[in-house]
Amino acid sequence: MREYKMTETKILTRLICNSCGKVIALRGGIPLEGVCAVRQSWGYESERDGEQDSFDLCEACYDRITGQFKVPVTRTEQSEWL
C-alpha cells in the first residue's frame, strides 16, 4: 500500500551573482559553492520603508566587497553544522 501527500515545493533553478553575473552551479536546487544571500526589509526609520531588497553574491565578490570595509567583518567559527 502506498499513501501520498500532495505538496507544492519551490526549487531553485537558477542563481546568479548580482555583482559579477557569474552563474552559480546548482544540484537539486542547492548551490555547489558558497553564496552570500542578503535579504533586507526596510523599516519605518528608513527612507525605504516598506521595501525589501535581496541579492546574492558569489564568494569572490563577497571577499572583494567586504575587503573594502573600514571595519572588518566579524567572523567566528561555527561549532555546529546544521
Q: Which residues bind Zn ion (CB under 5 A)?
A: 17, 19-20, 22, 58, 61
Supply the minimum distance, in Å, between the C-beta of residue 8 and Zn ion: 31
Spatial separation of the C-alpha atoms in residues 31 and 63, rounded to whole Å: 18
Buried b (16+ CB within 10 A) or exposed e, 12-46: eeebebebeebebeeeeeeeeeeebeeeeeeeeee
Supply the minimum distance, in Å, between the C-beta of residue 17 and Zn ion: 3
CB nearer to Zn ion: give 15 or 61: 61
Residue with cell 541579492: 55
CB nearer to Zn ion: give 50 or 67: 67
CB nearer to Zn ion: give 23 or 30: 23
